[in-house]
Structure 1
Amino acid sequence: MKTFQSEDGLSEVIGFILLIGLLVVFLAVYQTYTVPVQGRDTEIDHMNEIKNTFTAYKISLDSLWVNEREGTMLSTTLDMGTGGGYSQGGFGNIGFLTPISSGGSVGVNQRNETITVTVGSNIDGVRTLADFNPGALEYQSNNYYWIDQNYYYQLGGVFLEQNSGSTVRVMPPLTIARYGTDEGYTAKVDFTIIRLNGGELISGTGPVRVETNLNNGGIIESPDYVGITNVTITVGSDNPKTLLMWKNLFEDSLARYGIPSEWYDPLTISDEKVSLNVIGAQVNGTSLGVYANIIRTNYTTTLQTVATDIQ
């Protein structure tokens, strides 16, 4: 004789399994699509904050040497990471419901550029005003969801470096303009050579404090006088993207005030260097020379980690 048992318990088990399956599918879709979008947006916002921090840093350092505030300490804080999801699953760095926190590094004088500035004169020949590594404050990102970007402050400018190339975010204090004389117009070069001293590197996800001292209030290396026959600014680097960026920077500086091509030598990149040689105007076969105002100023920059869990 057959007996029939209730299947209510079996239905509940199947329903529970289906709910678990739907939950797993939902979490998989959320982790696959939503979490990366959130992480991407967070890292983009963080990189914009880094850009703003470097821009403010440049403006603050300029104010120190302009106002000759020698010995004044400038302090700013920079967040190396996004501070995203700190609770992670049991599979290493696989985020669960929140994006993985990205990190980065901040370094002083970790780059390999050089700056050389010379002036030729009918009075005392060729004079070298600078020939050294200018130093740099640099942030290198370690992003999970967005392209890595490196921002750095160097020679009074803010630059962005990434896989696609390098570009200028804020121009350094270099101006090439027209200058009127009794004989006619010629070129005038205003350039502040800023050097960062120090050498540190900190990596992580937390904040880091950047402290900078002005060592001198600005040394005028070349006053305004017509005896200068040429001014040469040379940037050296083993990175072709950096050299191309400086070539474009020089071209932009010349085009800003419409400097004629006869007033400077053609810009070329060779031997890991790019040079701008300004020779000024010629009137009836006579050179009017170049007016120049070259200032050199020095800073010392140090890094300090910042505690974030003080009670």
Structure 2
Amino acid sequence: MKSYREHALSEVIGFVLILGIIMAAFSLYMVYGVPLQGRENEINHMTDVQDQFIAYKINVDSLWTNHQTGIAMSTSFPLGTAGQTAQGSTSIIPVLQPIGSSGTLGINQRTTTPEIFTVSSTSYITNTTGMTSVGPFTIPTTQTYSNAPSILLINLSATNASWSNPAPGSVQITGSGWNATVNVTPDISDCLTPGFGTNITYQTTGCYGSDITVTVVKNSITSLNRAVVYSNITPVTIYSINLLDAAYGLQSTITYPATMTFSTVGTLSSPTVTAQYAYQAQSNYTYSVPLGAIEYSASNNYWIPQSYYNQMGGVFLSQIDGITYKLPPEITFVNNGNGNITVNIVALAYDVADSGTIGGSSPAQVSTSLESNSGSLPYAPVSPNTWNASINITTPDPNAVTMWANYLNSAANQTGGIPSTSYTVGTVTNGSYIYLNGINDGYPHITLHVAAANLSANVQSAGSS
């Protein structure tokens, strides 16, 4: 028979064993459960950060595409978890909750030296000093235009213009798959004026009664029939008709280099043709700008360190093993066939004077606006306008060097469908580049569009005024 002392000792041992089991359960939860919950919180938080960067990109694109200069756009970024997502019955016990993470949001803090975007090309550049002219050439003539004139003038003298002349003459222009006729057309209605009483009309004294009209035929289909350009023309006066006026619909039909034949029918007084250009060829035309970036860096406790940043209109994820893009930057390539390439670039860059960093776990706000000096660069608005082009991104970050080279190659070949013989992608010590060489036949085969979107930004706590 056991004594009372032995009975008491067994109860103590049983209580100690229960405490041991409880402590073991708590230890297992702290070792495995808390880190697992913290890891899940931080993964969800990084997904929220990615979504905010995507929303930010969309808002910045809206500022640019709508040319909303001087209008501030604000976006809020969550800086950390701070234990706010910890839930469950154990959340009342602080030691059983994961430690909240924090983060840092900065403007132009990504690298110690600026990352620079540069595009250099041999292109047709808008002529700021005025038009240059080729001609006039007396018709009949055949002319070959290596690139699209800004204006193509048919110059007529209306010496023989009269309603009584049934065929005063016309100029016929023939191209590849199209033709146009600039015709002096008799129109006696120009000389008739309402009368009085039984006299319905009477002829105006000194009126000649002729119009200048334009007819356009594309692919054997008449798209414009005797559209009146000048009415009631007068003798001796010189009338000029711009054949490339958008109203005639020939701009998108003519493929350059183009050969055009100009001929006359009837009696016209020495008509001529003049090509005018609002641009001129310029070698090594260069635009360069420091890009800057909006970057969020997470101080994760349970998940791998990650950074998201917005640069050049792209959303990038940076980790210790490299950089990838979640949304591509604003550089795109298109293969138009026959060796012709289109390159579209929007150089979104943050003002180098903007700088700031905010850290912690509370939300932070970025205010961004489009500066008034944004706009398209003066590449001639003709297609094609460039012989060759080089795009360079200079960066001290070796992971960024690799990422940019991979993106340029993928965007040109896989997305744009450009054959590898038409471009070269490479890296140098502090940068990546793509060189577009086009076809070496003396004519431009690249259409280059570059726009500068200059941004101003500042960062502040979401709770500050």
Q: Shared fold by TM > 0.5?
A: yes
* Counterpart residue number, 1:92: none
The alignment's TM-score, normalised by the length of structure 2, stands at 0.59
Residue 232 of structure 1: aligned partner:
390
Answering whether residue 421 of structure 2 is matched by residue 262 of structure 1, we say yes
Match of 1:115 in 2: 117
The question of whether the paired residues in 2 share the 8 Å contact of 1:159 and 1:167 is answered with yes
| Cα separation, 2, equivalents of 1:42 and 1:223 | 52
Partner of 1:176: 333
1:36-115 alignment runs, 5 A limit: 36-84=35-83, 96-112=95-111, 113-115=115-117
Partner of 1:136: 293
Q: Tell me the CA shift for residue 227 of structure 1.
A: 4.2
Q: Distance in 2 between matches of 1:125 and 1:247?
A: 25
Please give the alpha-carbon distance, in whole angstroms, between the structure 2 residues aligned to 1:121 and 1:217.
22
Q: Does 1:297 align with 2:456?
A: no
- 2:442 counterpart residue number: 286
Look up the match of 2:370: 214
Alignment length, in residue pairs? 292
| 1:148 alignment counterpart | 305
Partner of 2:28: 29
Q: Partners in 2 of 1:51 and 1:23 — Cα distance?
A: 40
Query: Partners in 2 of 1:203 and 1:277 — Cα distance?
Result: 40
Higher helix proportion: 1
Amino acid at match of 2:418: I
Once superposed, what is the RMSD of the aligned Cα atoms? Answer: 2.2
The structure-2 alpha-carbon separation of the partners of 1:157 and 1:6, relative to structure 1 and needing over 3 Å to count, comes to same
Specify the SS of the correspondent of 2:96: coil
Secondary structure of the structure 2 residue equivalent to 1:35: helix
Aligned partners of 1:44 and 1:270: how far apart in 2?
A: 35
For residue 96 of structure 2, what is the amino acid of its counterpart? L
Report what 2:153 is aligned to: none
**Structure 1's 175 and 32: CA in aligned 2 closer, same or farther, altered over 3 A?**
same
Cα distance in 2 for residues equivalent to 1:5 and 1:177:
93
Deviations 1:203-234 (A, max 9, x none): 11111011111113841102433442222110
Unaligned runs of 5+ in 1: 88-94
Stretches of structure 2 lacking an aligned partner (at least 5 in a row)? 87-93, 125-280
Tell me, in whole angstroms, the C-alpha distance in 1 between the residues paired with 2:373 and 2:62: 10
Contact residue 68 and residue 217 of structure 1 kept, 8 A: no
Distance 2:431 2:448 in 1: 22
Percent sequence identity over matched residues? Answer: 33
Extract structure 1 runs of 4+ deviating beyond 6 A: none
In 2 relative to 1, CA 274–5 (structure 1 residues): closer, same or farther, beyond 3 Å? Answer: closer
C-alpha distance in 1 between matches for 2:327 and 2:296: 16
Aligned equivalent of 2:341: 187
